[in-house]
Amino acid sequence: MTGDRLHFARRGIAAVPVKVPEVDVEQARALAAEFASKLVLVIPPLRAFARGLCGRADLADDLAQEALAKAWAARASYLPNTNFKAWIFTILRNHYYSWCRKQRRVAPWDPDAADKLLVCEPAQQGHLALAELAAGLQALPAQQREALILVGAGGFAYEEAAQIIGCAVGTVKSRVARGRAFLRDFVDSRQRDLSQARPTSAEASQAILGELRRLDPNSH
């Protein structure tokens, strides 16, 4: 007689066996397959978000892979019919900042990462050189850069971005507005500096002719 049965027998109470609910194996497999398909679809934007946060392609791949593994391990906690993309972006964001705290630093920015970040209005995109945009993004405070990436490149609504970041909607709007204003001023300033430093076509032609004359005295 087991301990439980003996415990009840001493009190004259019949032991009632506990019925363990059967697990629907087919349903569990179907849910796992559906979850896996969601993960596959979200990989490209997840990697882009990671690259926007850290600025390095190699580190972004590691961050995205770790976020995918964490999401798979925690798939039972995901609520069906909720925003899956926001859910896994939150996992990646938390993992990234945890990594930063451990490293006690921010990863060096890769200028090529700017190619993935459409953080300005469409009418202005043609005026932003990628190198200048990358430099501007690097100069932004981390909170503003994060908000710009989520709303601009990630395609999240302000409400969704606020949910991922864990702040008020108004805070996200303010960060995006200030970030965009900073980028516009930054890029405009860089372009003005380049235009002032760059010689005109006439000046360039005269400089070339002068150099040719110096190299060939017989051309005078």
Please give the chain's pLDDT, 220 residues, in tens.
555 544 444 455 455 555 545 557 888 888 899 999 999 999 999 998 898 888 888 899 999 999 999 999 999 999 988 999 999 999 999 999 888 888 775 555 444 444 444 344 444 444 445 667 777 777 888 899 899 889 887 889 999 999 999 999 999 999 999 998 888 888 788 777 666 655 555 555 565 555 545 554 454 5
- Token code pair at residue 139: 């100069």
Cα separation of 213 and 21, whole Å?
A: 94
Cα separation of 151 and 157, whole Å?
A: 6
Residue-range domains of the chain with CATH: 117-220 (1.10.10.10)
Largest CA distance in the chain: 124
- pTM, full prediction: 0.62
Within 10 Å of residue 217's Cβ, how many Cβ atoms? Answer: 7
Phi-psi label, residue 39: left if phi above 0, alpha if psi -120 to 50, beta otherwise: alpha
The confidence score (pLDDT) of residue 125 equals: 43
The confidence score (pLDDT) of residue 205 equals: 56
Is the Cβ–Cβ distance between 115 and 146 less than 8 Å?
no
Cα separation of 15 and 183, whole Å?
A: 73
Q: Which position has the token pair 């360039």?
A: 204
